[in-house]
Structure 1
Amino acid sequence: MVRIPRLAAAVAAASALTVLAAGPAVCAGDPTVTDPHVLAHFDFAAGQTPENIALEPDGSADLTLAFARQVARVDRHGGTRILATLPAVANPQTPVLGAAIVTGLARAEDGTLYVNYVTGTPETGVWRIAPDGSAPEQIAQLPADGLPNGLALDEDCGTLYTADSALGTVWRVPVDGGEPTAWATGAALEPTPQLPFGANGLKLHDGAVWVSNTAHGTLLRIPFEHEHEHGHGHGQEPGHGHDRTAGPVETRATGLTAIDDFAFTGHGDTVLAALNTVHELALVRADGSHKTVLTAKDGLENPTSVAVHAKNVYVNSAAFYVQPNPDPNLLLARISKNKD
């Protein structure tokens, strides 16, 4: 049985931990987010709580439906179909949550999807979903006492990076499968006794791995460093070379109450971040200041992740502890041309 109330209690604790920092009400050059509307609704009772997003070239959205163990595709008109269901686990022991869930999602150029499956058993790890519709296949095993969450693919280097919310670790996983490596650790990535969700969302951007920490309400940047000089990685995506190590963790923003996943608005460092327990989407500027751009009045119910495609913003809402009528959904809005 899906134990969503346990998640609700854990995530709800975040609202008591941090206070949303007050940024300027208006800042010249800020992208604007307008015309929000719900594109698709999901079945809360069936565990269809949207967790993460990967976008298709045509603007369709691939979503993980966490407690249903499903990956679904929502087209631009709101039509939804299930792409894959991860196999049931007889006795899941998922840290904090108890139930087996799917979390982070990443897409390769050929349409292959990579998804984190978290069970508290040997099935915990990264799974591959081929575009031909064949059954999902586990390509890497991650620690059973971990909670791999956000996921990103560096296709040039054949590497996946995932943020472990329970173990406070960023794992590096070969895209062809094999032994994961603990790429980054430390106090900035760890959970707290009050809230057992540390490193959460993860993106590759401008020569670095960016990570949110839910318990601390922070947005972090971990630059790539090189053991040798033949790779640089100063573009929007990391550079070539397989020998990059993690540089010092930089805190880029604080006071982001219960931040979950996030997305960059363009080539600069401006971010849209899902603030789970306060039902908000925040615009986080490169200097760390931030403001609210969408709220519960726009349809957000425990937003979990964000994606940006052309002039569109996608926001998942999982509705983990919205009662009495939870409405897990996918919201679509417009974003102005980025000034950064």
Structure 2
Amino acid sequence: MRRTTRLAAVAAAGAALSVLAAGPASAGDPTVTDPHVVAHFDFAAGQQAENIALEPDGSADITWAFAHQVARVAKDGTTEVVATLPEVPGGSTPVGGPVALGIARAKDGTLYVTYATGTDKTGIWRIAPGGEPEQIGFGFPANAFPNGLALDEECGTLYAADTILGQVWSLPVTGGEPTVWATGTELEPTPEIPFAANGLKFHNGAVWVSNTARGTLLRIPVGPEPDRAAGPIETKATGLTFIDDFAFTGHGDTVLAALIMDHKVELVRPDGTHKTVLTKADGLDGPTSVAVHAKTVYVNSAAFFTQTDPDPNLLLAKISKNKL
């Protein structure tokens, strides 16, 4: 089955999900304005824009899913490939072939990428500045699907959401075998939709995770040293239909979330209410991930579900300063 057909079938199965109404506007909401697409990518070449990590100059390091590459896109749209993960002959995943997914950046410029292949190449890969990709996370199960990725650099720990197994992995930044860090019904798929824990961010002493199947945004506190165990899972927002990745707008708990099937970005307030701030009319085509740098919002679109003229792209917008 073609990957677009397979994903569309899963989307149709989840059409019966209920959606909670967005809450009323708040005077504290940041505003998102001036959306514009700065770069278009080649769908046929596998350049589905999946995840984002930002450089200090505002350039975006983007994973191209089925090309299994990392591309660097300047704010003016200039694009260069900085790394290509190895081919995996015979590799297979629930979305088709091998896919490059999450990405995180260390302060020294080292990039970390999750790669799902259905083989022993599945894991977390490190890309040193100017270097070649090197696998540092080994021993994932054959059916693992490590997706969203975040780095707690202070404690030297990587966290990855597993979209198929419905859990969170942890791995020392030095590499090795992963540990199952968090489990629970809140992270798992549903009978109708097999794609669960997806986007992941480390924020204010907690791991935040989106669950695509359940349309939820979750917070998992990180416990104290020495084990830094996962605390109880908290549901922070619901009704986020087919949520993919997300990003915080600042130091507080306000979030921008990509809703891949609805071609929307939602602003999610700390109380869990939310409203739409970007749509397909702005240029979104199956948005997969969001990032925020200073007063700029970045949104990747992968165009996974577009049947005609798919347009994977990178969209930028302005965001007002806020304290939420």
1:140 aligns with 2:124: no
Superposed CA deviations along residues 184-210 of structure 1, whole A, max 9, x for unmatched, are 001100011211110000001111100
Which position in structure 2 is the counterpart of 1:309? 293
Shift of residue 224 of structure 1? 1.3
Shift of residue 135 of structure 1? 1.9
Shift of residue 322 of structure 1? 1.1
Which position in structure 2 is the counterpart of 1:221? 219
Identity %: 70
Paired residues of 1:112 and 1:128 also in contact (CA < 8 A):
yes
Shift of residue 242 of structure 1? 4.6
TM-score normalised over the length of structure 2:
0.97
SS of aligned partner of 2:137 = strand
Which position in structure 2 is the counterpart of 1:122? 120
Superposed CA deviations along residues 241-283 of structure 1, whole A, max 9, x for unmatched, are 4521000000000000100000000111100000110000000
- Residue ranges of structure 2 left out of the alignment (5+ in a row): none
Structure 1 residues 26-65: aligned runs within 5 Å? 26-65=25-64
Q: Take 1:32 and 1:75, find their aligned partners in 2: how far apart are those partners?
A: 23
| One-letter amino acid matched to 1:126 | I
Q: Take 2:107 and 2:123, find their aligned partners in 1: how far apart are those partners?
A: 21
Paired residues of 1:22 and 1:291 also in contact (CA < 8 A):
yes
Change (3 A) 1:55 1:216: same
Paired residues of 1:12 and 1:277 also in contact (CA < 8 A):
no
1:326 aligns with 2:323: no
Q: Take 2:52 and 2:11, find their aligned partners in 1: how far apart are those partners?
A: 20
| One-letter amino acid matched to 1:74 | V
Q: Take 2:296 and 2:282, find their aligned partners in 1: how far apart are those partners?
A: 15
Which position in structure 1 is the counterpart of 2:6? 6
Change (3 A) 1:16 1:248: same
Question: Aligned match of 1:110 in 108, 115, 135?
Answer: 108
| One-letter amino acid matched to 2:66 | F
Q: How many corresponding residue pairs? A: 323
Q: Take 1:258 and 1:115, find their aligned partners in 2: how far apart are those partners?
A: 23
Which position in structure 1 is the counterpart of 2:177? 179
Structure 1 residues 186-201: aligned runs within 5 Å? 186-201=184-199
Change (3 A) 1:15 1:318: farther
Which position in structure 2 is the counterpart of 1:287? 271
Paired residues of 1:152 and 1:161 also in contact (CA < 8 A):
yes
TM-score normalised over the length of structure 1:
0.92
Paired residues of 1:313 and 1:335 also in contact (CA < 8 A):
yes
- Residue ranges of structure 1 left out of the alignment (5+ in a row): 227-240
Superposed CA deviations along residues 146-192 of structure 1, whole A, max 9, x for unmatched, are 11110000111111000000011100011111121100001100011
Which position in structure 2 is the counterpart of 1:266? 250
